[in-house]
Amino acid sequence: MPEGHTIHRLALDYGGHFKGRATQVTSPQGKFSDAAALLNGTELTRTEAHGKHLFLGFRDEEWIHIHLGLFGKVNFGGTPAPPPTDTVRLRLANDTSYVDLRGPTTCALITDTEKQAIHDRLGPDPLRPPKDTDPNAAYRRISRSRTTIAALLMDQKVIAGVGNVYRAEVLFRHGIDPYRAGKDLTPAEWDAIWTDLVDLMREGVRNNRIDTVRPEHTPEAMGRPPRVDDHGGEVYVYRRANRPCHICGAEIRTADLAARNLFWCPNCQKP
DNA sequence: GCCCAATGTCGAC
DNA sequence: TCGACCTTGGGCA
């Protein structure tokens, strides 16, 4: 479930279980063995997330850089840790906990300088502290672009951390057609989208899932049977193709956009 | 067992 | 724009 909220949550959870103590670092699958051997027995000193990138700090200026990609999964557990399966790329363990990483796109040992280069190529992240985060930088790019707002929201250079679910849901919540060109988005619309993403994604970190349905549109409030969408949260349009819009009843539409599935309500989201 | 899809990104053409 | 890559779980036989 890797959108930005998941990664920020992982930064907190890795820190909570392992920070400040000698940590056993292994790579049962083998692809990270050399680096694991180098770090094994040292201390996890800090953890950080920017968009969908996770950084685990060891020693002075060394970091494990993790990107889950589409398939990566992380699994925490208590001791005794079970024998790792052969797909575990990275296991951290101490006296009380273990955590397994499987299927990441990236798991690499990097320096401070290399880490900085990653920050430099990422746009502002609604979940980073406001002092390092400038939503106007994102709007400058958006307001100059003929690309669709749906594509721009997924471009990590423009804004970091938004994925396919938050993209679909935030556009629905603001009644914006996904095919609208970035340059046709008003500053007020962008402010509203950014502020909303900050709120939604913070809640996503807290609950470790994506919920976007406003209280007045929950099934209870609308006198309908309770539901939980396939991916475990409560949403308006994501993966709800051909089903009725919670608000107006129109059929939710879906289309391919840059090799990803897009979902929207043709009635609630006007050009 | 096989086939497919999935909340992502990169590089080749 | 397309394929490649990483892994798991669900549907179906």
| Residues A9 and A115 occupy one common structural domain | yes
Mean pLDDT of A39-50: 98
User: Any idea what the CATH number is for the domain that residue A45 is in?
Assistant: 3.20.190.10
The answer to whether the beta carbon of residue A195 comes closer than 7 angstroms to any atom of strand C is no
Instruction: Write out pLDDT tens, residues A6-44.
Output: 999 999 999 999 999 999 999 999 999 999 999 999 999
Task: Supply the pLDDT for residue A233.
Answer: 73
Average pLDDT over residues A203-231: 86
Give catalytic residue positions of A.
2-3, 52, 260
pLDDT for res A165: 96
A69-125 pLDDT per residue, tens: 999 999 999 999 999 999 999 999 999 999 999 999 999 999 999 999 999 999 999
Is residue A270 one of the residues assigned to a domain? no
- A117 lies in the same domain as A139: no
| Residue A112 sits in the same domain as residue A206 | no
Amino acid A224: pLDDT = 78
Which 8-state DSSP code applies to residue A251? Answer: B
Closest amino acid to nucleotide B7 (CA–C1'): A1
Position A141 confidence tier, pLDDT thresholds 50, 70, 90: very high
Distance A28 CA to B2 C1' (A): 28
- pTM over cut 0.85: yes
Q: How many CB atoms lie within 10 A of CB A67?
A: 17
Statement to judge: residues A168 and A240 lie in one domain? yes
Last residue of a domain, one of A97, A121, A145: A121
**DSSP code, position A246:** T
Q: Stretch A201-209: mean pLDDT, rounded?
A: 96
Strand C: which residues 104-143 of A lie within 7 A (CB)? Answer: 104-105
pLDDT for A132: 84
Backbone angles phi, psi at A56, to 5 degrees: -115, 120
Pick from A96, A121, A146: which residue ends a domain?
A121
The pLDDT, as a whole number, for residue A1 is: 59
Let me know whether A9 and A113 are in one domain.
yes
Q: Is the CB of A186 under 7 A from strand C?
A: no
Would the pLDDT of A60 be above 70? yes
Examine the domain organization and report whether A258 and A236 are in the same domain.
Answer: yes
A259 located within any domain: yes
| Cβ neighbours for A206, distance < 8 A, ≥ 6 positions apart | none
Distance CA A8, CA A211 (A): 16
Give the distance, in angstroms, between residue A177 CA and nucleotide B1 C1'.
44
Whichever domain contains A136, its CATH number is 1.10.8.50
Q: Which domain holds residue A18?
A: 4-121
In a domain, A69, yes or no: yes
Mean pLDDT (whole number) for A128-153: 96
Asked if residue A230 has pLDDT above 70, the reply is no
From the list A63, A52, A186, the residue with the least C-alpha distance to A127 is: A52
